[in-house]
Amino acid sequence: MLVRRLTTLRQVRLSSSIANHEPAGPSVKTPLPGPNEQALRKRMDNHFQTISMNMFVDFEKSFGNYMVDIDGNAFLDVYQQISTLPLGYNHPELVEFARSDPMITSTVSRAALGAFPRSDFPDAIEKALVSIAPKGLKNCQTMLCGASANEHAIKQAFIWYQTQKRGGKAPDDEYLTSCMEQKLPGTPNLTVLGFQGGYHGRTMATLSVTRCKTYQKVDIPAFQWPIAKYPRYKYPLAENKAYNDAQDKECLEDVELKIKEQKEKGHDVAVVIAEPIQSEGGDKYCSPQFAQGLRDITQKNGIVFLVDEVQTGGGATGDFWCHTHWNLSTPPDIVTFSKRMLTGGYYYADHLRMTEGMRIFNTWVGDPAKLLLLTKVVEIIKRDHLLEKNREVGKHFQSELSKLAAHHPNLLSTPRGMNTFAAIDLPNTEMQGKFTKACHLNGLHVERCGAQSLRFRPSLVYEKKHADLTIELLDKTAKQFEK
Amino acid sequence: MLVRRLTTLRQVRLSSSIANHEPAGPSVKTPLPGPNEQALRKRMDNHFQTISMNMFVDFEKSFGNYMVDIDGNAFLDVYQQISTLPLGYNHPELVEFARSDPMITSTVSRAALGAFPRSDFPDAIEKALVSIAPKGLKNCQTMLCGASANEHAIKQAFIWYQTQKRGGKAPDDEYLTSCMEQKLPGTPNLTVLGFQGGYHGRTMATLSVTRCKTYQKVDIPAFQWPIAKYPRYKYPLAENKAYNDAQDKECLEDVELKIKEQKEKGHDVAVVIAEPIQSEGGDKYCSPQFAQGLRDITQKNGIVFLVDEVQTGGGATGDFWCHTHWNLSTPPDIVTFSKRMLTGGYYYADHLRMTEGMRIFNTWVGDPAKLLLLTKVVEIIKRDHLLEKNREVGKHFQSELSKLAAHHPNLLSTPRGMNTFAAIDLPNTEMQGKFTKACHLNGLHVERCGAQSLRFRPSLVYEKKHADLTIELLDKTAKQFEK
């Protein structure tokens, strides 16, 4: 069925195709979870725990901005899996591209990209990654996901830091011998500085600089790496300038203090890792001046400034890279990505290039099929001016979200965002859960972040009519709570 | 071109197709690296460092046991990327399957499997994973790669260990509060015990129990987790029984000592992680009695026994799981996998099932396209009796490898292996490098492991004639060194 349907779409321009082939609108006909959902979940749970799952999706019927579950319920999906679909479900051009020979051989005979890359790998790197690289960063490294991107980016920063300490020299015998016993100097006491509320992944090192949810951290041993305060602004920003400026100052002072404390312990901070928007943490923003402060502090102390754009990158905020709007005096040293970039990886500055091989390496070093698919995604985004269109839709969405909050002042507050990357707050965690569930029943698939926020992460095929429908469904849901 | 060629193959049975469509034999016509290789490497190095790479591969021309580089050189490939291709290059049935609708939608609209799995996910789990599960382990968890499999498997073990300590209870407020400050009791001092020579991945936690190569570890901070001795046998095994038995005893005593030392420090060992064959470490084997000893010690101490089958699993050794031949009195608690399983992940025992959601979780929790492809791989392996055939070929290969070593006693020693998963030693690291390069020039793509070994990791479409050709090329290479 999919074949027939999509084949007829091949000649259709994107702008019309989404409109023509999505369901007419959301429609939830069963209780949630529906009967098929319950039965299949029971079956799966015999072998694969279902306690964390949300719902089974019918990926053959999901299209554009609409996700269809296995009970036939259709949701307007402003979460797009976990903010991982850059162009919505089953984009016809991507479906066609996925059937091409390079995609098929990439899938069947997966290259170990670090050792035996495909002959089209350099071209794919140039098209998919270099062509949209953040200003000032022309080197890149692919990885499999956001956590592995952060793990290896941090490792590359550590290698640079230690190489600097050695005056640019490769590790000598003393280093090589001691590292196998995990002793100094081969195994250094270097640390990474993270932030309260930050999220960088679920591996043990990335969890050590994550301070988001308790269930992510409890019972898991961690590196004792320092954590500094991240700004907590009052909204609307313009009306709370003095308070917010003071937040920036206080947090930057805390960063400097933590760096000093670590140095005194002989545990140099080699990396500062920060998100432009703390996304899992509840869409907490930081100002350009705070970011510039971080850039200044890291530069002054010879520390690598790593900007984690796993959730904000790849066009999510109306730019390919959210940190662009900081207008930093010098670029970050590393920018990590994943999610709607399809492949994990990172960009890095020239001075971080390594002189010895095999130090940043693993079996697959990413996935060629994901990188190739990204070349097509980037081509479509550029050709169809999707970022420009997204900014138009985003401006409208932000304005409507503010009006919505004003209409429901006891329920909804602090509308905020960058274009369609947006959030709004509920009064507390309990209401956050209830409101999210009620939205689902009304056909809007939205998700939570932080302790009391709803997050919006639509793809780049989200148009004005989808934004209007989102607001309509939120309004309908809010009214149900106010009855 | 690929389309036409493979389309005509669709009806051909596997057993004949490989023979019919591979190149007639190896052929190296250019110096290595060849001119195309050098030019493309120069181009790629502008943006993606090439210091770790081996060669660019023409994946459209590679087939079965043969890898073709971008200079048109064809190699008999007994390494199969990094032991990651279960059925060789471009298996015709996998090519056909990759074009099916579920594979296409999985690729274009990738499910976040932990939250929004595909409707065919339970079926794929049953076919691809449960149907080949190690005896006694019926639960599974998908992940992206071997390192993330080990990371999350260890985390799940930690969660179980702490839950046991709490008498089965979920973490209370004291735990939840303290974990966000990385203090006791929420952030425990638990440790993982690894082995000298072991390899478990390149993330920082898995590196902490890795003791393989210095370049993997130097300059990278690590968890101070204990390391015990792993047996170092003398070969031939039968002639060195007393020595090897003493090795087992000494190493098991060391494990017990390390567990005791950690306990005294308040750093309980919660997990023992071991490979059935230390593969990156140089194909170092351990005996069934050593493994049974580990099982006994872990059971006695309430420690999770994690068997890392990332390199040995998925049919590499002639069984789906290498540890099967241990015939343990009770199964391991966890078995991790990746590489030729296409997807990362792990099997685990019932008692490790969790009662709270979202604790083992990340954005993608694997990759649906890889899991679906594995269903087809498993179907083909079973239908065509490829493990049984592999054991036949393996018996022959082991016998020929022993004869080869006997013919070149000054160059080659310690032939060993399980069926086609095999290794042989060179006199030292320098000769290991030179011999490997000479093999490449003779058209045999073989790779190194450990300080002085060559490893053989052919796929399951490796037949007797390929084994004979491998021996012939090794013999030819050895003779060049003996001139």
CB contact under 8 A, A49 and B353: yes
Distance to chain B for A403, nearest Cα, Å: 32
Chain B residue numbers with beta carbons less than 8 Å from the beta carbon of A356 are 51, 215
Long-range contacts of A444-447 (CB under 8 A, 24+ apart): A444/A26, A444/A75, A444/A76, A444/A78, A444/A470, A444/A473, A444/A474, A444/A477, A445/A67, A445/A75, A445/A76, A445/A77, A445/A78, A445/A79, A446/A78, A446/A79, A446/A470, A446/A474, A447/A79, A447/A82
User: Distance between CA atoms of B222 and A189, rounded to whole angstroms?
Assistant: 8
Collapsing DSSP to helix, strand or coil, A37 comes out as helix
Question: At which residue do the structure tokens 């313009």 appear?
Answer: A238
B151-210, pLDDT tens digit by residue? 999 999 999 999 999 999 999 999 999 999 999 999 999 999 999 999 999 999 999 999
| Domain boundaries B110-381, CATH class | alpha beta
Nearest Cα neighbor of B249 from B231, B276, B237, B235 is B231
Q: Residue B52 to residues A303, A363, B438: CA-CA distances in angstroms?
A: 26, 12, 19
Instruction: Classify residue B1 by burial, with Cβ atoms within 10 Å: 0-12, 13-18, 19+.
Output: exposed
- Residue B74 falls in which region: left (phi positive, over 0), alpha (psi -120 to 50) or beta: beta
Q: The tokens of B363 are what?
A: 């954005």
pLDDT of residue B16 exceeding 70: no
Nearest CB to B116 within list A81, A188, A203 = A81
Report chain B's mean pLDDT, rounded to a whole number.
95
User: Distance between CA atoms of A429 and A448, rounded to whole angstroms?
Assistant: 9
Instruction: Return the amino acid letter for A179.
Output: C
Which of B103, B116, B137, B163 is the best substitution to test chain A (most A C-beta atoms within 10 A)?
Answer: B116
Contact B439, B445 (CB under 8 A): yes
Quote the pLDDT of residue B253. Answer: 98
CB contact under 8 A, A220 and B361: no
CB contact under 8 A, A82 and B141: no
What one-character DSSP code corresponds to residue B133? P
CB contact under 8 A, B202 and A361: yes
CA-based max dimension of chain A: 74
Contact B106, A99 (CB under 8 A): no
User: Distance between CA atoms of B338 and B335, rounded to whole angstroms?
Assistant: 11
Nearest CB to B121 within list A44, A106, A214 = A44
pLDDT of residue B18 exceeding 80: no
| Domain boundaries A389-459+473-483, CATH class | alpha beta
Chain A residue numbers with beta carbons less than 8 Å from the beta carbon of B162 are 218-219
Distance to chain B for A211, nearest Cα, Å: 6
Q: Domain segments of chain A: what residues?
A: 103-381, 389-459+473-483
Q: The tokens of B262 are what?
A: 């950690």
Quote the pLDDT of residue B483. Answer: 79
The phi, psi pair for B393, rounded to 5°, reads -60, -40
Nearest Cα neighbor of A374 from A460, A463, A314 is A314
B238-297, pLDDT tens digit by residue? 999 999 999 999 999 999 999 999 999 999 999 999 999 999 999 999 999 999 999 999
Distance to chain B for A238, nearest Cα, Å: 32
CB contact under 8 A, B219 and A103: no
What one-character DSSP code corresponds to residue A115? T
CB contact under 8 A, A218 and B62: no
CB contact under 8 A, A158 and B40: no
Instruction: Return the amino acid letter for A361.
Output: F
The phi, psi pair for A317, rounded to 5°, reads -105, 10
CB contact under 8 A, B44 and A121: yes
Distance to chain A for B96, nearest Cα, Å: 9
Residues B191-230 as b or e (16 or more Cβ within 10 Å = b) = bbbbbbbbbbbbbbbbbbbbbbbbbbbbbbbbbebbbbbb
Question: At which residue do the structure tokens 């349907």 appear?
Answer: A5
User: Distance between CA atoms of A157 and B343, rounded to whole angstroms?
Assistant: 29
CB contact under 8 A, A158 and B201: no
User: Distance between CA atoms of A198 and A218, rounded to whole angstroms?
Assistant: 16
Nearest CB to B108 within list A98, A205, A360 = A98
Name the CATH superfamily, with its identifier, for domain B2-91+387-482. Aspartate Aminotransferase, domain 1 (3.90.1150.10)
- DSSP readout, A118-152? BTTHHHHIIIIIGGGPPTT--EEEEESSHHHHHHH
Quote the pLDDT of residue B69. Answer: 98
User: Distance between CA atoms of B385 and A69, rounded to whole angstroms?
Assistant: 38
pLDDT average, residue stretch B396-411: 98
CATH for the A103-381 domain, from 3.40.640.10, 2.40.37.20, 1.10.3720.10, 3.10.580.10: 3.40.640.10
pLDDT of residue B10 exceeding 50: no
pLDDT of residue B12 exceeding 60: no
Residue A150 CA, distance from chain mean position: 12
Nearest CB to B112 within list A84, A115, A163 = A84
- Residue B328 falls in which region: left (phi positive, over 0), alpha (psi -120 to 50) or beta: beta
pLDDT average, residue stretch B386-399: 98
What's the CA angle centered on B266, arms B264 and B271, to 5 degrees?
100
Confidence of residue B13 (pLDDT cuts 50, 70, 90): very low
Signed CA dihedral, A389, A391, A396, A400: sign only? positive
Which secondary structure element, helix H or strand E, spans residue A298, and what is its range?
A: helix A288-301
Chain A residue numbers with beta carbons less than 8 Å from the beta carbon of B176 are 214, 218
Chain B residue numbers with beta carbons less than 8 Å from the beta carbon of A56 are 116-119, 121
Quote the pLDDT of residue A17. Answer: 53
Contact A360, A150 (CB under 8 A): no
Distance to chain A for B36, nearest Cα, Å: 10
Chain A residue numbers with beta carbons less than 8 Å from the beta carbon of B1 are 101
CB contact under 8 A, B219 and A158: yes
Which of B77, B166, B218 is the best substitution to test chain A (most A C-beta atoms within 10 A)?
Answer: B218
Give pLDDT tens digits along chain A (483 positions): 333 344 333 433 444 455 567 999 999 999 999 999 999 999 999 999 999 999 999 999 999 999 999 999 999 999 999 999 999 999 999 999 999 999 999 999 999 999 999 999 999 999 999 999 999 999 999 999 999 999 999 999 999 999 999 999 999 999 999 999 999 999 999 999 999 999 999 999 999 999 999 999 999 999 999 999 999 999 999 999 999 999 999 999 999 999 999 999 999 999 999 999 999 999 999 999 999 999 999 999 999 999 999 999 999 999 999 999 999 999 999 999 999 999 999 999 999 999 999 999 999 999 999 999 999 999 999 999 999 999 999 999 999 999 999 999 999 999 999 999 999 999 999 999 999 999 999 999 999 999 999 999 999 999 999 999 999 999 999 999 997
B33-64, pLDDT tens digit by residue? 999 999 999 999 999 999 999 999 999 999 99
Quote the pLDDT of residue A21. Answer: 79
Which secondary structure element, helix H or strand E, spans residue A227, and what is its range?
A: strand A227-228
Nearest Cα neighbor of B335 from B327, B344, B285 is B344
Q: The tokens of B281 are what?
A: 């470490």
Instruction: Return the amino acid letter for B189.
Output: N
- DSSP readout, A312-330? TTTTTTSSS-GGGGG--SS
Which of B10, B18, B49 is the best substitution to test chain A (most A C-beta atoms within 10 A)?
Answer: B49
Is ipTM > 0.85 here? Answer: yes
Instruction: Classify residue A258 by burial, with Cβ atoms within 10 Å: 0-12, 13-18, 19+.
Output: buried
Which of A218, A230, A308 is the best substitution to test chain B (most B C-beta atoms within 10 A)?
Answer: A218
Chain B residue numbers with beta carbons less than 8 Å from the beta carbon of A86 are none
Tally Cβ neighbours within 10 Å of residue B430: 10
Distance to chain A for B482, nearest Cα, Å: 30
